[in-house]
Amino acid sequence: MKRAIITGVTGQDGSYLAELLLKKGYEVYGIIRRSSSFNTSRIDHLYQDPHNQPKLRLIYGDLTDGGNLSSVLNDTQPDEVYNLAAQSHVRVSFDQPIYTANTDALGTLRLLEALRMMKKPPRFYQASSSEMYGKVVETPQTERTPFCPRSPYACAKVYSHWQTVNYREAYGLFACNGILFNHESPRRGETFVTRKITRAATRIKEGLQDKLYLGNLEAKRDWGYAGDYVEAMQLMLQQDKPDDYVIATGQTYSVRQFLDEVFGYLDLDWHNYVVIDPKYFRPTEVDLLQGDASKARKVLGWKPTVDFKQLARMMTDADRNIARNERLVKEHNK
Ligand code: NAP
Ligand code: GDD
């Protein structure tokens, strides 16, 4: 049985990856941060087994604490480590650049150093990002497209990307970068634009709110489904040789088109509800992302199974259920 550690297990991708690895028969350890409130809602179904058998084991840890990472690795001796933990919000990285660098850049280095010290270093996956292409120099973007980062978050991810390549080349670690383009799901954090839209649109439909405040509607993203993307992460670590891969759908759509899709599906006209609030503009924006995942298709045999329309509808259906329940509770309490 393989043993894996996932950092960032409480996040969107961590929860889908834990599910996938457990399904494949792995023993899975997740690193979680101490929080003053519960932060395990995305993974509760994975460790609250009806027979009280812990399926997913959780260990406290933090990417800002190198000693802790070392002891977790030495105690568990995993075969694979997936580094998904990050301050992952691009807008927030402009407000908290140093914290973001500490976690997203130095955090990866702490992990790589801890791995390097091990007698038998596990295979390592680094969550790189299409955000690194920033002010893109070509479209579509491939593994060979130069990076041009436009945010503190992207700069930190570029640092981690190159450290991962360096540890692979200098110390022979089996270390891979997955350059993942935006991927979403019903478990997406509520402040990322897709989820913010599906949540607000369904609450508007249920009469629970009447406005949606957004920033730049013209930005274009290559949006895929998180459940598909975690499969690519696992596949990367099963290859004969470590390498870096772009994971994307190859299609790009604007925020405006996402609004059309979601509000249209709910028979609403978003123009009646959306208000532009400059607070959501970024000091520097990434205007267009569109990935070319040919290498992953060829080498990993990976391809996306959910397209833009299906993704928008899947997220809208899930949020409609939540909004409907919220309305019923509200009516019941009147
Ligand atoms: P997410 O939902 O924001 O999850 C981030 C996870 O990191 C959470 O579990 C969070 O814990 C944890 N975390 C944050 N700071 C930490 C720290 N200092 N130490 C330990 N854990 C920490 O992000 P996601 O969408 O699942 O993305 C997963 C990874 O892929 C991230 O590295 C992200 O930057 C990268 N990525 C995402 C996308 C995308 O479109 N989703 C695309 C490319 C790359 P809490 O739950 O306690 O906050
Ligand atoms: N979050 C947010 N909120 N974004 C908005 C809003 C708003 O109210 N209004 C417009 N946008 C625009 C942003 O300016 C950006 O151009 C686009 O919507 C997407 O924003 P996000 O959903 O926050 O995602 P992101 O592309 O900045 O970053 C995500 O994808 C990266 C991969 O390219 C995150 O998941 C990163 O962690 C990830 O690396």
**Per-residue confidence band for 50, with pLDDT thresholds at 50, 70 and 90:** low
Query: Tokens for 262?
Result: 């979601």
Single pTM value for the model:
0.98
For residue 34, give the DSSP letter. Answer: -
Is the confidence at residue 311, as pLDDT, over 70?
A: yes
Query: Tokens for 147?
Result: 């990076």
Residue 304, phi then psi, degrees to nearest 5: -75, 150
What integer is the mean pLDDT of 250-278? 98
Average pLDDT in the chain: 97
Q: Is 174 helix (H, G, I), strand (E, B) or coil?
A: coil
CA-255 nearest atom, ligand 2: 18
- Domains, the chain, ranges and CATH? 3-184+223-247 (3.40.50.720), 193-220+251-288+308-332 (3.90.25.10)
- What pLDDT is recorded for position 213? 98
**Per-residue confidence band for 47, with pLDDT thresholds at 50, 70 and 90:** confident
- What pLDDT is recorded for position 179? 99
Residue 125 contacts residue 80 (beta carbons within 8 Å):
yes
CA 62 / ligand 2 centre spacing (Å): 24
CA distance 20 to 145: 30
> What pLDDT, in 10s, does the model give residues 117-170?
999 999 999 999 999 999 999 999 999 999 999 999 999 999 999 999 999 999
**In this structure, which amino acid lies at residue 86?**
A
Is 153 among the catalytic positions? Answer: yes
Residue whose token pair is 């280095």:
109
> What pLDDT, in 10s, does the model give residues 181-236?
999 999 999 999 999 999 999 999 999 999 999 999 999 999 999 999 999 999 99
Is the confidence at residue 300, as pLDDT, over 90?
A: yes
Is the confidence at residue 54, as pLDDT, over 60?
A: no
> What pLDDT, in 10s, does the model give residues 84-114?
999 999 999 999 999 999 999 999 999 999 9
Strand order in the sheet with 27-32: 56-60, 27-32, 3-7, 80-83, 123-129, 175-180, 245-247
Q: How far does Cα 245 stand from its chain's mean position?
A: 15
- What pLDDT is recorded for position 51? 65
- Which of 188, 193, 249, 287 has most ligand 2 atoms within 8 Å of its beta carbon, as the pocket-test mutant? 193
CA distance 243 to 250: 20
CA 153 / ligand 1 centre spacing (Å): 12
Q: Give Cβ neighbours of residue 297 (< 8 Å, ≥ 6 apart).
A: 303
Residue whose token pair is 């997955």:
178
Is the confidence at residue 48, as pLDDT, over 90?
A: no
The percentage of the chain sitting over the pLDDT mark of 70, rounded to a whole number, equals: 98
Q: 56: number of CA atoms within 13 Å, CB side?
A: 28
Is the confidence at residue 53, as pLDDT, over 80?
A: no
Say if ligand 1 is within 6 A of residue 14 CB.
yes
Please provide the DSSP assignment of 102-142 as one string. Answer: IIIIIHHHHHHHHHHTSSSPPEEEEEEEGGGG-S-SSSSB-
Is the confidence at residue 251, as pLDDT, over 60?
A: yes
- What pLDDT is recorded for position 23? 94
Instruction: Taking each helix axis as running N to C, give the angle between helix 255-265 and helix 193-205, from 0 to 180 degrees, rounded to the nearest 10.
Output: 30
For residue 273, give the DSSP letter. Answer: T
Residue 323, phi then psi, degrees to nearest 5: -65, -40
